[in-house]
Structure 1
Amino acid sequence: MSSIGHLLGSFLGLDRVNTNFTYTLVYRGCSKVIPHQEFRLYLLIPAAISTILLAFSTRRTKQKLHLLNGRPGLVFPMDVMKRSHRFSYAAAFGTLAQLCATIVFDAKHAFNYDGPAYLKVFIALVSMLIYGMGYFPLFAGISVGSPMGYLVATLFSWVFTAEFFANSFCTQEMVISYLILIIGVLPEMLCYLYLTFSLPVRFVLSIAKPVKKTKLAVDFESSEDLYESIRKSYQGIHVTKLFKRPPPPPSPPDGAKEKLIFLLKSLPGKVFYNNTKGFRYSARLVSVMTVGFILLYEFTFLLFIVFYQLFDIAEQGLIANLDVVRRETVTGEDPSTTILRDTLNISYYLVIAFRGCFLTSLMVALAINVVFLLHYMASYKYNLLLLYKGNNEHLTPRALKSNASLIVGSMRYAGYQVGYIGWGFFIQFLLLLVISIAIATIVTLWDVIKDLILQQFMIIWPVLITSLVLNILQLVLSKFLFLQENGDILAMDNRRLFFIFTYFMFFYNIFIGIFSCLMRIIKAIILGALFLPRLDHSTLPKKFQRMDPGFDAYCGFMHVESTHTNPVAMVFISILQAESLTALKRKEKKILNIVLRVDEYQEMLAKKRRKARWKWLLAYTLVNNPEISLQRRLVLAKERNENIKEIFFSRSSSFTVKSTKLDLEDVIIQSERL
């Protein structure tokens, strides 16, 4: 940029104008406090240590679980099939927007390389590995969801936030104010601040309340609670809607006013985002859209600041030269001075016009791409819901692609989408700029080139009018003369007249075909550039869509999403898990009851054994000691008499004393017999 400024200044003679673009044109204001390459390289050491710690805090799920209690486990940065932690992942990917911009537009590497050119591709691969490894603990910490994971993610988010603020708001002297700097990096700054404050809160909450397993894996009070959790999930809500009768379609509007109001109300839902109960966007899609929006925003802001100042310097230079030459014509001046003045005046008006064209094209390109991002989310939901129903008419059918190619497309999708958004925006901006500059040039130089334009128009307008009239004539004759019932049915009428008219139109349509061919080329260029950022629409014909790498990646992504996130399949699997866990719970209870019964039986047997052993020892003692046996009988008889007396005297209100004595003697006799 500094070289461009010096060249422009020398061309316009800007000796008194500051052409130092080092601080003026770079909206960040100054050189980086923390160097990019050194920071990425030094970050590898704590990133590797943190990844090892996260691995040892996670257990393996399949292989060699007995070894080291199943540790270390394999940690991953992001579950691309889940819908949880969407905003955290989106903010984490949002912090990568600046890095993505340097990769897309600058191809910046993680370290300097001055060797052979054919080895640069390997340097790029190593750089991508370094970039990914540096950010790996941040994403892996969010995915693990444990106190250790949130601690690691918090520390790395603080490091990245400090690096961002240090390089964005450095202490050197700046021409641009801090307010403009904040506006320029506002979306990215919000992502950093969200991670800075949300991750510590999650860390504290994870310590206070340990992370639980899924509801299907924890203990539950009843099976009804388990099924209720399935019903309240977004998959359960979607499946519940399938069993409900859809509401009747609204009656079509009658008048033109009602039709216009209905169209305006339905337009935002078709073009922009509309909420659908029971549907969630995937964390991967939300993250990609976030990176794309931040990329568009910051790139637009950078171009706006840079070129606005560039045009301002050019305008000041032209004004300075006009002041030197004088703005008004002086009698007797040199003709070369008059030509120079006219050239400077035309250049001045062209610079003003080009500045308006540039800013307008930039804003229009940004608006188009933002609308495309919103419409892309609506298109994603529409296509995914169709795939859930087995309808893949918009995409390449799954039967025409192998499963491996679908997985490859799913892996490519996120990177392709970000790259297509960046370069698609740039190409759209250039196309709009060329068109607007052409219009501005014609308007500015109208007095000079109007004769040429009018001369060409006088040659072309009969062709345009004749083509328009004949096209309308063909349509009217086909509807009212060559078809029966005014074109309501495809049945020919006046066949001979139709054959005559077709014969003579053959020769004229040759000339019309030339103009139509040019229009087809122009339409292909405009539509190709317009839909270049969107991967959900192929820029190639339907039979050649598989040759479109972006659309092919989108098809793979959508098919994999549909297969692994189908709500019907997910609810069915959840019900099977619930049934399995319910049956397991019942089996555990049954086994527990059996164990309790066995324990009671064993305790009863042990009591009987103790009683039999005591009786045997007692009998052995009494046999060997006859005196003890006699004394024991007397004691036992006395105890029985006392017990019986207490029982009968407690019921004295029902018996007389005489009967009580007789009964008492009978009871004593019966007890001795027993």
Structure 2
Amino acid sequence: MAFIEDLLSVFQEVSEDDGNSNFTYTIVYGGCSKVIPHQEFRLYLLIPAAISTVLLAFSTRRTNQKLHLLNGRPGLIFPMDVMKRSHRFSYAAAFGTLAHLCSNIVFDAKYAFHYNGPTYLKVLIALVSMLIYGMGYFPLFAGITVGSPLGYLVATLFSWVFTAEFFANSFCTQKMNISYLILIIGVLPEMLCYLYLTFSLPVRFVLSIAKPEKKTKLAVDFESSEDLYESVRKSYQGIHVAKLFKRPPPPPPPPEGAKEKLIFLLKNLTGMVFYKRTKGFRYSTRIMSVIAIGFILLCEVTFLLFIVFYQAFEYAEKILNTLKVAEDFLTTTDRKALDMFLFLGTALRGCFLTSLMVAYTINVVFLLHYMTSYRNNLLLLYKGKNEHLIPMTEKSNASLIVGSMRYAGYQVGYIGWGFFIQFLLLLTFSIVIATIVTLWDVIKDLILQQIMILWPVLITSLVLNILQLVLSKFLFLQENGDILAMDNRRLFFIFTYFMFFYNIFIGIFSCLMRIIKAIILGALFLPRLDHSTLPKKFQRMDPGFDAYCGFMHVESTHTNPVAMVFISILQAESLTALKRKEKKILNIILRDEYQEMLAKKRRKARWKWLLAYTLVNNPEISLQRRLVLAKERNENIKEIFFSHSSSFTVNSTKLDLEDVIIQSERL
């Protein structure tokens, strides 16, 4: 991120001058000249990306349009099937390699090329930059999607190029006082994604050559329909549908001993706070990719903020220590003020570190909660329940598709800026507390005075709220509040009348609390798109939640396991029936050919029988027939002789008919 790199470059001279500094993690990040420049790398990458895309397109065939042209090539290739769950980790790792680029886009709006023109054209330049970024990474995703040896080869080559660029630019510093271990920790998640692609894609390339993968399984590929049904049962959708027909297991018995109760409570608390796994559920490729890039983005931003602000505090502390050494030029009051500033600087450093780690922890836990929320909402949508989301009937199909397209980009942007805003709010809150603690001797009289003014109001409000609750339960409702039926109606009317005037004053304080709660909860749930920050009737005005609803409805409609299994069964039955029909037609054709052959034999035998009967009863016709047959035989022999005259051996100029017959038979 450029703004953090600029701040880091400010401390370069300080790091060079102060050789005795105790801060051993100084790194001149901004002063590093990139081994592979960002803009040049993105532009030059377009050439191999375009060539690879064309090769991948010609390696696939069109499915339904103009198949007679070039044998159906080139085909239309796409980077990722967002509706399937295959190659989830490869896609997640590929998106994880985009984390640093996404941070530059979210926080710095970094372009793919240098631009110094008018400001009003920057939006157009940003659109062109996004197209360049997408085209540069397109072959990596498309190669994984194609799944052929050529696809894996292209994906492998591009992953190696991106890995080389990552290591060259991540570990290049003109001056390095930071240990490589600390630097590796900062980029470890993204580095693991690069290493995963670097080693897994070549292995898949070799396996695809040794054993080509079948992209589709049709009914004709199976010996019987049972084989096809067995493949459906083993799929994720089949397992989910089979699970629906099973009776759910009974709930476990409640724990009895104190130790068992404590273990049960800890397990439930861990599942509620962090993450609870559901056996058999598989997250989609898209949600895994978004979670991966969001987590890596949080890690990198946290690491960079830690580096820049830690150096800022070191720089400020160095200046104050330098002034403190010059005691001859300071008065007693100045030294006290200087000591106070040193103490305040130490407190602010603690506030910064605490706020940064708390914001990071909150967002990481929110990512885990987000996965749980996605799973629960998707399973409810499979059952036709959408109470938490905007119903499909209130949105058009086009708006749902638009929301699905917007979702991934919105989620990454919300995670980045939500984390930054949470960090600023936590930092402000902690600085206020640290200031109060530091300046307690100065402002304690003012604070105690305000507390003496406000504590009667707070105590009275608390007592009256408790009193209203107790009276409502035991005096104004029947059966101690178990049913909503009024009791002591006259006392209720009197109490309500007098509480009206007091609740006006309570309402002012309640209004302030409502504003504070809205700010806190709005900032807290800003990175999460599965919860709207607006009231239920105004949820459609929340663009993030609207995009999430569109994504969930499209996901549910196109990946519902019950619908997918039902369609698979229909397709299996249709293809099996087609196969059975083809066999039946083949049997009919063979049977007809056999019957025709038998009929021909019968006709020939009948004709021979009639001929023999005629010749036996007519000897003259038999004699004439012999003469005709002999004449035809002689003519045939002559034709054979003249057409193969070079093959016969003639000893005299006069041809002997018998010799000709013998040699013709020999030929």
TM-score interval for Structure 1 and Structure 2 normalised by the shorter chain: 0.7 to 0.9
Task: Evaluate the alpha carbon distance shift between residue 592 and residue 213 of structure 1 in structure 2; reply closer, same or farther with a 3 A threshold.
Answer: farther
**More displaced, 302-311 or 32-41?**
302-311
Task: Give the C-alpha shift of residue 272 in structure 1.
Answer: 3.5
Task: Give the C-alpha shift of residue 575 in structure 1.
Answer: 0.2
Q: Secondary structure at the match of 1:406?
A: helix
Aligned to 2:516: 522
Aligned to 1:282: 284
Aligned to 2:156: 154
Aligned to 1:345: 339
- Contact between 1:28 and 1:169, CA under 8 Å: does it hold in 2? no
Task: Give the C-alpha shift of residue 267 in structure 1.
Answer: 3.3
Q: Give structure 2 stretches of 5+ with no counterpart.
A: 616-620, 631-667
Distance in 2 between residues matched to 1:290 and 1:6, nearest whole Å:
30
Kindly report which structure 2 residues correspond to 1:254-653, keeping only aligned pairs within 5 A, or say none.
Answer: 261-325=263-327, 337-601=331-595, 604=598
- Contact between 1:238 and 1:278, CA under 8 Å: does it hold in 2? yes
Task: Give the C-alpha shift of residue 26 in structure 1.
Answer: 4.9
Cα distance per residue 1:441-488 (max 9 Å; x no partner):
111111221111111111111111111111111111111222222211
Task: Give the C-alpha shift of residue 269 in structure 1.
Answer: 3.4
**More displaced, 162-171 or 212-221?**
212-221
Distance in 2 between residues matched to 1:259 and 1:242, nearest whole Å:
31
Task: Evaluate the alpha carbon distance shift between residue 6 and residue 137 of structure 1 in structure 2; reply closer, same or farther with a 3 A threshold.
Answer: closer
- Contact between 2:27 and 2:176, CA under 8 Å: does it hold in 1? no
Aligned to 2:86: 84
Distance in 2 between residues matched to 1:412 and 1:89, nearest whole Å:
18
Distance in 2 between residues matched to 1:40 and 1:18, nearest whole Å:
41
Aligned to 1:33: 35
Aligned to 2:72: 70
Kindly report which structure 2 residues correspond to 1:120-159, keeping only aligned pairs within 5 A, or say none.
Answer: 120-159=122-161
Distance in 2 between residues matched to 1:185 and 1:3, nearest whole Å:
19
**More displaced, 605-614 or 532-541?**
605-614
Distance in 2 between residues matched to 1:259 and 1:491, nearest whole Å:
38
Cα distance per residue 1:170-225 (max 9 Å; x no partner):
26431222211211111111111111111111111111112213223551122111
Task: Evaluate the alpha carbon distance shift between residue 624 and residue 489 of structure 1 in structure 2; reply closer, same or farther with a 3 A threshold.
Answer: closer
Cα distance per residue 1:624-662 (max 9 Å; x no partner):
669x99xxxxxxxxxxxxxxxxxxxxxxxxxxxxxxxxx
Distance in 2 between residues matched to 1:393 and 1:486, nearest whole Å:
32
- Contact between 2:404 and 2:551, CA under 8 Å: does it hold in 1? yes
Task: Give the C-alpha shift of residue 58 in structure 1.
Answer: 1.1
Aligned to 1:60: 62
Aligned to 1:329: none
Task: Evaluate the alpha carbon distance shift between residue 509 and residue 568 of structure 1 in structure 2; reply closer, same or farther with a 3 A threshold.
Answer: same
- Contact between 2:220 and 2:579, CA under 8 Å: does it hold in 1? no
**More displaced, 494-503 or 591-600?**
591-600
Cα distance per residue 1:251-301 (max 9 Å; x no partner):
556899876654432233344433334421100000000000000011111
- Contact between 1:29 and 1:176, CA under 8 Å: does it hold in 2? no
Kindly report which structure 2 residues correspond to 1:8-23, keeping only aligned pairs within 5 A, or say none.
Answer: none
- Contact between 2:85 and 2:283, CA under 8 Å: does it hold in 1? yes
Task: Give the C-alpha shift of residue 309 in structure 1.
Answer: 2.3
**More displaced, 612-621 or 364-373?**
612-621
Task: Give the C-alpha shift of residue 233 in structure 1.
Answer: 0.8
**More displaced, 314-323 or 528-537?**
314-323
The count of residues paired between Structure 1 and Structure 2 equals 617
Task: Give the C-alpha shift of residue 316 in structure 1.
Answer: 2.6
Distance in 1 between residues matched to 2:9 and 2:29, nearest whole Å:
18
Distance in 2 between residues matched to 1:5 and 1:452, nearest whole Å:
40
- Contact between 1:532 and 1:539, CA under 8 Å: does it hold in 2? yes
Task: Give the C-alpha shift of residue 25 in structure 1.
Answer: 5.0
Task: Evaluate the alpha carbon distance shift between residue 136 and residue 8 of structure 1 in structure 2; reply closer, same or farther with a 3 A threshold.
Answer: closer
- Contact between 1:27 and 1:306, CA under 8 Å: does it hold in 2? no
- Contact between 2:85 and 2:285, CA under 8 Å: does it hold in 1? yes
Q: Secondary structure at the match of 2:581?
A: helix
Distance in 2 between residues matched to 1:406 and 1:256, nearest whole Å:
51
Task: Give the C-alpha shift of residue 125 in structure 1.
Answer: 0.5
- Contact between 1:60 and 1:73, CA under 8 Å: does it hold in 2? yes
Cα distance per residue 1:115-159 (max 9 Å; x no partner):
111111101000000000100011111111111111111111111
Kindly report which structure 2 residues correspond to 1:39-54, keeping only aligned pairs within 5 A, or say none.
Answer: 39-54=41-56
Task: Evaluate the alpha carbon distance shift between residue 393 and residue 78 of structure 1 in structure 2; reply closer, same or farther with a 3 A threshold.
Answer: same
Task: Evaluate the alpha carbon distance shift between residue 57 and residue 617 of structure 1 in structure 2; reply closer, same or farther with a 3 A threshold.
Answer: farther
Distance in 1 between residues matched to 2:438 and 2:622, nearest whole Å:
134
Distance in 1 between residues matched to 2:41 and 2:475, nearest whole Å:
77
Distance in 1 between residues matched to 2:526 and 2:471, nearest whole Å:
39
Aligned to 1:168: 170
Task: Evaluate the alpha carbon distance shift between residue 64 and residue 41 of structure 1 in structure 2; reply closer, same or farther with a 3 A threshold.
Answer: same
Q: Secondary structure at the match of 1:185?
A: helix
Task: Give the C-alpha shift of residue 405 in structure 1.
Answer: 0.4
- Contact between 1:142 and 1:150, CA under 8 Å: does it hold in 2? yes
Q: Secondary structure at the match of 1:105?
A: helix
Letter in structure 1 aligned against 2:428: V
Aligned to 1:654: none
Task: Give the C-alpha shift of residue 67 in structure 1.
Answer: 1.1
Task: Evaluate the alpha carbon distance shift between residue 171 and residue 3 of structure 1 in structure 2; reply closer, same or farther with a 3 A threshold.
Answer: closer
**More displaced, 307-316 or 386-395?**
307-316
Task: Evaluate the alpha carbon distance shift between residue 589 and residue 549 of structure 1 in structure 2; reply closer, same or farther with a 3 A threshold.
Answer: same
Cα distance per residue 1:380-420 (max 9 Å; x no partner):
01000100111000000110000000000000000000000
- Contact between 1:395 and 1:555, CA under 8 Å: does it hold in 2? yes
Letter in structure 1 aligned against 2:537: K
Distance in 2 between residues matched to 1:15 and 1:222, nearest whole Å:
80
Task: Evaluate the alpha carbon distance shift between residue 446 and residue 587 of structure 1 in structure 2; reply closer, same or farther with a 3 A threshold.
Answer: same
- Contact between 1:215 and 1:229, CA under 8 Å: does it hold in 2? no
Distance in 2 between residues matched to 1:68 and 1:462, nearest whole Å:
88
Task: Give the C-alpha shift of residue 242 in structure 1.
Answer: 1.3
Q: State, as a whole percentage, how many aligned pairs show the same letter.
A: 81
**More displaced, 401-410 or 485-494?**
485-494
